[in-house]
Amino acid sequence: MLINLNILVIGGDDRNLEVIHNLAIAGANVYLLGFDQLTFDNPKIHQSRLNEVDLTVIDAITLPVAGTDETGKVEATYSNKTIILSEELISQTPAHCIIYTGTSQPFLDTLTTLTQRKLVRLFDRDDVAILNSIPTAEGALKLAMEQTDRTIHGSKVMVLGFGRVGTTVARLFSSVGANVRVGVRKSVNMARITEMGLTPIRLADLEKEISDIDICINTIPHQILDSNIIATMSTSTLIIDLASKPGGTDFKFADNKGLNAIHALGLPGKTAPKTAGIILADILSEELSGIEFKK
Domain with 183 in it: what CATH number? 3.40.50.720
Per-residue pLDDT reduced to its tens digit, 202-232: 999 999 999 999 999 999 999 999 999 999 9
- Residue 252 is predicted with a pLDDT of 96
User: Is residue 168 located within the same domain as residue 212?
Assistant: yes
Whether 181 and 111 share a structural domain: no
Mean pLDDT of the chain, nearest integer = 94
Confidence (pLDDT) at 177:
98
Q: What is the mean pLDDT of residues 131-140?
A: 96
294: in domain: no
Do 139 and 253 reside in the same domain of the chain?
yes
Are 225 and 257 spatial neighbours (Cβ–Cβ below 8 Å)? no
**Domain for residue 1, yes or no?**
no
Could you tell me if residue 120 is inside a domain? yes
Q: What percent of the chain has a predicted confidence (pLDDT) above 90?
A: 90
Going by C-beta distance under 8 Å and a sequence separation of 6 or more, which residues neighbour residue 142? 271
Asked if residue 277 and residue 258 are part of one domain, the reply reads: no
Pair 242, 206 in one domain: yes
Same domain, 68 and 148: no
Whether 137 and 165 have beta carbons less than 8 Å apart is answered as yes
- Mean pLDDT, rounded, for 31-35: 95
Is 210 within the bounds of a domain? yes
Q: Pick the residue with more confidence: 196 or 4?
A: 196
248 and 165 assigned to the same domain: yes
State yes or no: pLDDT of 249 exceeds 70: yes
| Domain assignment of residue 169, given as a range | 133-264
Residues 56 and 175 grouped into a single domain: no
Across 87-94, average pLDDT: 95
- 223/252 same-domain check: yes
pLDDT digits (tens, 9 = 90+) for 59-86: 999 999 989 999 999 999 999 999 999 9
Task: Count structural domains, the chain.
Answer: 2
Query: The whole model's pTM is what?
Result: 0.86
Task: Determine phi and psi for 94, rounding to 5 degrees.
Answer: -65, 155
Residue 247 has pLDDT above 70, yes or no: yes
Confidence of residue 294 (pLDDT cuts 50, 70, 90): low
Q: Are residues 151 and 242 in the same domain?
A: yes
Contact 32, 48 (CB under 8 A): yes
The pLDDT assigned to 1 comes to 74
pLDDT at 295: 58
Q: Is pLDDT of 196 > 80?
A: yes
> 105-134: per-residue pLDDT in tens?
899 999 999 999 999 999 999 999 999 999
Are 257 and 140 part of one and the same domain?
yes
Span 46-66, pLDDT tens digits: 998 877 889 999 999 999 998
Same domain, 225 and 152: yes
